[in-house]
Structure 1
Amino acid sequence: MNKKYLFIALLALTSCKKFLTPDPEKNAIQSTTVFTSDGSATSAILGIYTSMMYGSLGSTCFNGSLGVYLGFASDELNDFTQRYPDWVKDQVNYTGYAPNYYLWSTAYYTIYQSNAAIEGLTASTSLSDSIKTQLLGEAYFIRAFSYFTLTNMYGAVPLTVTSDYSANASLARTDSAAVYQQVVSDLQKASVLLTASYPSSNMVRANRYVAQALLARVYLYQQHYAQAEAEADSVLSGPYQLVSSLQGVFQKNSNEVIWQLLPVSEASQNAYDFGWYTPANATSGPIYYLTPSLAGSFEAGDKRKTSWVTAYPYMGTTYYYASKYVTAPSAAAAQYNVVLRLAEQYLIRAEARAWQNNLSGAASDLNAVRSRAGLAATTATTQAGLLTAIAHERQVELFTEWGHRWFDLKRTGTINTVLGTLKPTWTSDAQLLPIPLKEISADPNLTQNPGYN
């Protein structure tokens, strides 16, 4: 799959000048040719997955880059290289082709591809019913995942569900609540269309549980706690289980993985995260390392500190870096990029139960994650105490994964208190990323977030 579909991603990314209005001749997924056979239609969807992963750090939204950049923006990571001081200071550069531009633009290109696929699949009369249903479910899921990521980074964003470039050329921003409605609608459709079985090996494409896992997160963010619990229930009743050994969690055949993305670089068979955190050799400096606040947040005896964090002495100072991914890029394929996994579902259900005053159920779910980490059961017994304990558990379980910490600080209303204490340059406006200037210049109806004009 890596090389076979790599050319699709390359073609998709060669003309990325204005992602809301791609050149119709160069970028359109032509339904008259692509969606006439099961094979070509499947290739088109596989091409979307491939384009999501293709690129180096900061050149795409979906290859794990969010773990780095939103780790800088929150309280997780420092930058020894001093390459991204704007992210560490939460004064993100929004001119030129800085990473912020690519996070926005590649997400929109993925949405464009999904819209074109949904249109082509819906109109096609020559596909087998099972393939058409599966591919439609995947396209709806990918679009939902893209919009969920965008609105949590930028707030109100242009909402388009069509590949019509003329209609998309002058879109204004849509309130996050409406974007969330679209995300929920797409995930509900995907949950119905997709089957419980994966359409390929290694959990690299969406099935029903993938859609439900993301829907559980979306409902939690919306404070729809009963719905969040119900969706997490479905996933936790599925074929997954917490891996007893922490070293096995991020392996490509892990029973905990719900969805992961396949690396597509010609030079790498494994997740790119290894190279973003691991020093090049024993004498080189650290790269992107854990902040003292994160490194010091693990309880005594927490196996995640010894299994997923590596101490690195360098020139008289001990740094700590994330080591969830330990397989070098050129090694045999062992670790793909994990996006959704079961531990998060336990923590989603724990939080949803706590808000509904099911305190024993919340503690049980929280303790499932704590027990795997070698920790005793929580001592929290009140709603407030459990919510605090769950927030802490999310911090030490999901660190450097897909911006979880950044999103958690924002949705719980604690971001100003936490980052205002740690960062002298912090302002409340920084909790939304700036809209790239190139996109604003191209769209007369697109406005900037407060604090960046």
Structure 2
Amino acid sequence: MKTIYKISFACLILIISIGLGCKKSFLEPDPLSFYTDEDFKSPEFYRAALISCARNLRNEYFGDGPPWVTEQIFSEVAVEGITDKSGPAQDLNLLITPDANLNSVDFNKIGYYWDEGYKGIKYANTIISRIDSGEFKDEAERNSILGSAYFHRAFRYYRLANQFGDVPLLLNEVTTPRFDFYTTKRDVILQKMKEDLEFAALWVTDNVNKGEVTKGAVNHLLTKINLCLGKFDDAIASANAVIDGGRYVLMTDRFGSVEADATRNVIWDLHRPENKSLSENKEGIFMVIDRQVDGGFEGGSKIMRNAVPNWGSNINTPNGKKGTNDAIGLEITQSDMYGRGIGRVRGTSYSTQAIWDDPNDLRHIKGNWMNMEDLVYNDPNLKKSDPEYYNKPVRLRNANGGLIVTDTIRSYYGWPQYKLFIPDFENAPMQGGHTDWYVFRLAETYLLRAEAYYWKGDLAGAAADINKIRARAKAAPYAAGNITIGTILDERARELYYEEPRKTELTRIAYIFALTGKTAYNGKAYSLNNFSENNFFYDRVKEKNVFYKNGVKTNHGDQYTMSAYHVLWPVPQGAIRANVEGHINQNIGYSGSESNIPPLDKIE
């Protein structure tokens, strides 16, 4: 927990300084040499601190093997697809331990979420603790900045509470070294975040720059936290504030840079990099900003590298010749159309096939969605060695049914081209360029409200909200009688693949089942008393993810395994070990949990 207790005011000022360039660009740094308490009188300094919070959020999504991968592979929608070495998070029973390497591209990024979660809390707490030192023009300016800081702190705690469960609660700036932290109950933390967000919703406005905290983002996050706490009427009210507020609209008509291209549709428009932050686009509620200039993420998003299959390797023709090639400058250069992927986020049969229940669904039609058979054999050597198959569609098997793809885990699965295709002007072959990225989008607000209706037993209300999303995608509506939490999760997977933190959301829902005792569609009811041994998260993943369900083995010999206690991640052992004057609990199922003590159940 070094990011909590090894904090000094001077260090924080140095970190905040990277985000001070507001005159030229929202992201362009303009570091100065030194800051004192006097600087905290300026509203611009507080806004610079908020920019630091926003910049750090971007790191979760972008780069090679970003933390976002870990959120996807601890779920039913995807698994870690790297198959040529041991170490990536596949055999979770073996590899996910408190003292393992928990912050590496080669393993997983669980530790990143712990470290960066508390770093974000640190930034927010500095603003919150020093807000009364500022000289603001009026109460509205002060409270809008304070509300934005509350949002950033609540955002981090929402994630930590659904990744790790009970965690230490820090509500004030830490200015001297501390080693005396104690774990606080998850519901106590979330109740405090709810109160903070309710204040923020009164003062934060939607009239801000893209990438800054909006009133819509506050109410969207408040909806999630209301759901966590089992306050379903409150969740509906906070979702209503977004949906009915007049600022945000579900995009159903063509718009943006390729609006005139009749071969495309609104689903494609919605996810074009140049369209996400257009004033015309009314669906984006909160996003991270990334441009090739003015402080863009180094090397670009690399989204195609992470989530597109390794289609350039392991794919042979029926005659056994190497069939595909992802190099540039070829007669058929497919890497310019699909990017060079390495299959790190391997979509499961659940997310790529099973959930698609309507052939008219725009999110799964040819052009928006890619199946491997939409690729062609393009290796130039085939023109001499196997001309029969050159420029012909890729196949999984030969005429006799024999498998001709040597690694189906990493190299053969479908993907949402409309979402993952990000043109790349820095890497060749393309890996995924710069793009703004949705953190919250109105489509999810509808699905959160649908979920609140479901928990209340209002299936008609739930169906109406789900069908709003399905209607935009040209998919047939659902009848109220068919709505379960599975229906909602399926629609989330269709609409929000690689957008939502899937592990966080599954764990949140598992907690709600345990809190309410409501029977799930699988006929089971759950309890908080044995949450780490029996929970909906594990049952859902084992039901839908065939890799974990069947214990699939990679070509390298590693087996996919998961246990019920993976509903919560292990607290990194270094954080516990260094906290010598306090006590941070370890989650049940991991070594060290036998020393747990009752967590704090109130805020002192």
TM-score (norm 2): 0.65
Question: Equivalent residue of 1:20, what SS?
Answer: helix
Partners of 2:572 and 2:448 in 1: CA distance: 32
- CA-atom RMSD in angstroms: 3.0
Question: Equivalent residue of 2:145, what SS?
Answer: helix
Q: Of 35, 38, 53, which aligns to 1:33?
A: 38
Pairwise CA distance, 1:288: 2.1
Are positions 1:256 and 2:272 aligned together? no
Q: Which residue of 2 aligns with 1:217?
A: 224
Are positions 1:277 and 2:307 aligned together? yes
Change (3 A) 1:451 1:57: farther
Q: Of 295, 298, 313, which aligns to 2:352?
A: 295
Q: Which residue of 2 aligns with 1:68?
A: 69
Q: Of 419, 429, 443, which aligns to 2:541?
A: 419
Question: Equivalent residue of 1:319, what SS?
Answer: coil
Question: Equivalent residue of 2:251, what SS?
Answer: coil
Change (3 A) 1:308 1:110: farther
**Residue type at the aligned position of 1:199:** V
Q: Which residue of 2 aligns with 1:23?
A: 7
CA contact (8 A) 1:19 1:105 kept: yes
Partners of 1:162 and 1:376 in 2: CA distance: 50
Are positions 1:193 and 2:203 aligned together? yes
Q: Which residue of 1 aligns with 2:268?
A: 247
> Structure 1, residues 64-112: CA drift from partner, whole Å, max 9, x if none?
9454212111122233324785533334254344422221101101100
Correspondence list, 1:129-278, <5 A: 129-166=139-176, 168-195=178-205, 197-200=206-209, 202=210, 204-238=211-245, 239-244=247-252, 245-250=266-271, 251-253=276-278, 254-263=281-290, 266=296, 271-278=301-308
> Structure 1, residues 274-324: CA drift from partner, whole Å, max 9, x if none?
442246875365342211222122213222223664323676353223441
Runs of 4+ residues deviating >6 angstroms: 331-334
Partners of 1:370 and 1:257 in 2: CA distance: 18
Question: Equivalent residue of 1:35, what SS?
Answer: helix
Pairwise CA distance, 1:386: 4.4
Identical amino acids, percent of aligned pairs: 22
Q: Of 428, 431, 435, which aligns to 2:567?
A: 431
> Structure 1, residues 197-227: CA drift from partner, whole Å, max 9, x if none?
3321x3x111211100111121123221111
**Residue type at the aligned position of 2:215:** R
Partners of 1:214 and 1:25 in 2: CA distance: 29
Pairwise CA distance, 1:406: 4.9
**Residue type at the aligned position of 1:189:** F
Partners of 1:56 and 1:416 in 2: CA distance: 25
Q: Which residue of 2 aligns with 1:326?
A: 421
Partners of 2:77 and 2:347 in 1: CA distance: 6
Q: Which has the larger radius of gyration?
A: 2
Question: Equivalent residue of 2:168, what SS?
Answer: coil
Pairwise CA distance, 1:249: 2.5
Q: Which residue of 1 aligns with 2:506?
A: 408
Q: Which residue of 2 aligns with 1:356?
A: 456
Question: Equivalent residue of 1:340, what SS?
Answer: strand
Partners of 2:240 and 2:70 in 1: CA distance: 31
**Residue type at the aligned position of 1:446:** I
Pairwise CA distance, 1:183: 1.5
Question: Equivalent residue of 1:81, what SS?
Answer: coil
Change (3 A) 1:358 1:126: closer
Partners of 2:249 and 2:434 in 1: CA distance: 19
Pairwise CA distance, 1:374: 1.5
Partners of 2:459 and 2:309 in 1: CA distance: 43
**Residue type at the aligned position of 1:295:** T
**Residue type at the aligned position of 1:171:** F
> Structure 1, residues 209-267: CA drift from partner, whole Å, max 9, x if none?
11001111211232211111111111001311222211123333332110001137645
Partners of 2:502 and 2:249 in 1: CA distance: 21
Pairwise CA distance, 1:58: 8.3
Partners of 1:381 and 1:56 in 2: CA distance: 37
Q: Which residue of 2 aligns with 1:449?
A: 587
Structure 1, unpaired ranges of 5+? 1-16
Pairwise CA distance, 1:53: 2.2
Change (3 A) 1:57 1:89: farther
Q: Which residue of 2 aligns with 1:392?
A: 490
Partners of 1:311 and 1:187 in 2: CA distance: 42
CA contact (8 A) 1:216 1:348 kept: yes
Are positions 1:53 and 2:147 aligned together? no
Change (3 A) 1:288 1:356: closer
CA contact (8 A) 2:161 2:167 kept: yes
Partners of 1:72 and 1:308 in 2: CA distance: 23
Partners of 1:417 and 1:40 in 2: CA distance: 48
**Residue type at the aligned position of 1:236:** I
Q: Tell me the number of residue pairs that the alignment of Structure 1 and Structure 2 aligns.
A: 428
Worse-matched range after superposition: 126-135 or 169-178: 126-135
